[in-house]
Structure 1
């Protein structure tokens, strides 16, 4: 039968201080350890006899010393070991290191200084005024300011020269009556009803509500008298203005625009012939360029005779001249020059040919000289472009105008002018797209309007002596 386990005996540890011998160190204290069995005081059943055994228990008790030492040297830890009733008790005593004592476990890199220790710093004596480097400017800094000032003056001089020598890129300046507005080109074809016309105007952006425009046309009995044709309209027009434009009675008039007429000349022609306000045709030509996305109008209008509605002669004339030019260009789309030049560039050449001569037989030769110079990247030297810029076709060209580098001065500038300079005829367009094959680079007209060509400048000077 298993024996009932016995409850563990509770021991009480009493420490009794004993006097150390005089030979012991002053900082070491001894204690007597007494183990008491509290359970022995209370009656209990006799314990079962067991085989005697010896238990050895060891413990370490750290007790700080109550006495401070006056020795500056550090004392290592000390320990004492005693036996009491078969129990070994080891007591370790550790002294407390003061702040003045060095730590033996640390490497001392410098000596501990006292609180009263001060370091004497040498007095800094500044250099005399005027000898410091900060007071003296380097030679580079002294030269930088004059250099910047000279550069600024040079840039201002260049800018002034450019502004004073350059002219506006385009010669035609809009009259105060001319407005920059959104314009739409429309074609009213035969068979279109009032509803389809209203929808076309809405899709083009002339009106916002096609139904409202249709209601106006029906209420005013205009649906059956709408006229076919080409129109230039803008989104600022009222229903009444649109109705008048689409139903105006065709009072037709014939207008002849000779070759070499400019936009200003045509505008003045309409003022004198039909009593239009000055600038009316300039506005129409500007609207035409806006509607068709042209970079310029001068040169895109073909000279000739046109039948237009008197009430809207300016718009009709601009539209008719432009449509005639488109038809003429279609005839020459097979020209090999279209691989090198755009249609606009060839029309500029056609306008220059037209301004240089009215003799159809001379046009292919002049076109040949222009193309030969363009191919060699030489200035064209055509005075008609400068006359167009000055808007003076009669008086001699001033010397300063020929010496000033402007977009239209082909003596000083290489290449073509930015726009055409007049309305060319179909013969001039033919010559521009199909020039004669010649070796000439120069030509001049004598007093009888006869032309003389030359291959070199020396030959040209001889022609000047002979025919001028």
Structure 2
């Protein structure tokens, strides 16, 4: 019997040694990069199994020796948890980083930037090109309804910013976040506005900010342009600003404004109407809202483009006409 005990002991040692070797091989395999040549997505649907997901990766050539991966899961059954979603696979991924993603639900993050100075229609076109988003044409109106906002169009009421989302995020939730952020920031700025601001409500401030946004891209000019508009409103002068005319023209605008366009009486033609247009004409940036609420301490009433992104500001119509002749009509 002694020889049998010795034989069993040798076999046991051999089995244990084999198990340890296999375990080391499996753990080494789990740290070895997968066969992914370029970044791509892995879609894990609701109800998918871990084995099914691994088999799919093996069929696609992303995993070799998939049996080692499955053996690892036998050794560590706590890693069998699988969460649905879209995952980002990269050439640096190993089976270990993959299983960590699948276990924790570390799904792919997407980003969408709602650009300042753009209109709702431009944002809709942008959103329709975004991956993993379902876009209804009235989605902005849906957000207004959700918040009990019945005061006009959605134009200008959403905060331009970069928003992160996943494949399971609803666009309604992204835009609701944008809407609430705009309302919060707008109210904060309105509560701390300068005393000489010539508008009567946060919404009017938003309208004015949208015009400032479209008139200049130079940060140093925003509060000066704000002063021009506030000064004109104070004197009951018409704003006479081209971006409002362009907005009122809609799809008819082809790059130029004619004299006929300036004479046409639309709700947005500030050459023909008194005061502000009825709604914002674009999404103003936070800087433009700040400028609308804090105009510069200057008495300018006019400005004209230098054609390089900057403007010449004037106190009198005579000065303004000279600037127009010099920079717009090329006269000396």
TM-score by length of 1: 0.44
Counterparts in 2 of 1:343 and 1:447: CA distance versus 1, 3 Å: same
- Aligned residue in 2 for 1:342: 201
| Residue 396 (str. 1) matches residue 256 (str. 2) | yes
Q: Shift of the alpha carbon at 1:291?
A: 2.5
Match 1:443 to one of 303, 313, 320: 303
- Aligned residue in 1 for 2:174: 317
1:69-92 CA-partner distances (Å, limit 9, x unpaired) = xxxxxxxxxxxxxxxxxxxxxxxx
| Residue 422 (str. 1) matches residue 278 (str. 2) | no
Structure with more of its chain in strand, by fraction? 1
- Aligned residue in 2 for 1:208: none
Counterparts in 2 of 1:310 and 1:382: CA distance versus 1, 3 Å: farther
TM-score by length of 2: 0.61
Q: Shift of the alpha carbon at 1:253?
A: 1.8
Task: Give the SS at the match of 2:112.
Answer: strand
| Residue 405 (str. 1) matches residue 260 (str. 2) | no
| Residue 303 (str. 1) matches residue 160 (str. 2) | yes
> Quick check: 2:302–2:315 contact (8 Å CA) kept in 1?
yes
Aligned length: 220
* Structure 2 runs not aligned, ≥5 long: 1-82, 84-104
Counterparts in 2 of 1:427 and 1:443: CA distance versus 1, 3 Å: same
1:249-268, aligned counterparts within 5 Å? 252-268=109-125
Counterparts in 2 of 1:303 and 1:440: CA distance versus 1, 3 Å: same
1-structure distance, mates of 2:170, 2:320: 46
Match 1:289 to one of 106, 129, 144: 144
1:117-266, aligned counterparts within 5 Å? 252-266=109-123
Q: Shift of the alpha carbon at 1:276?
A: 5.4
* Structure 1 runs not aligned, ≥5 long: 1-224, 226-247
Counterparts in 2 of 1:297 and 1:454: CA distance versus 1, 3 Å: same
Structure with more of its chain in helix, by fraction? 2
1-structure distance, mates of 2:259, 2:168: 45
Which structure exhibits the higher relative contact order, with contacts defined as CA atoms closer than 8 Å and separated by 6 or more residues?
A: 2
| Residue 329 (str. 1) matches residue 186 (str. 2) | yes
Worse-superposed segment, 253-262 or 426-435: 253-262
1:10-56 CA-partner distances (Å, limit 9, x unpaired) = xxxxxxxxxxxxxxxxxxxxxxxxxxxxxxxxxxxxxxxxxxxxxxx
Task: Give the SS at the match of 2:117.
Answer: coil
Match 2:230 to one of 365, 371, 377: 371
1:359-408 CA-partner distances (Å, limit 9, x unpaired) = 21111011111111111111100110111122356610132221011110
2-structure distance, mates of 1:251, 1:337: 49
Task: Give the SS at the match of 2:312.
Answer: strand
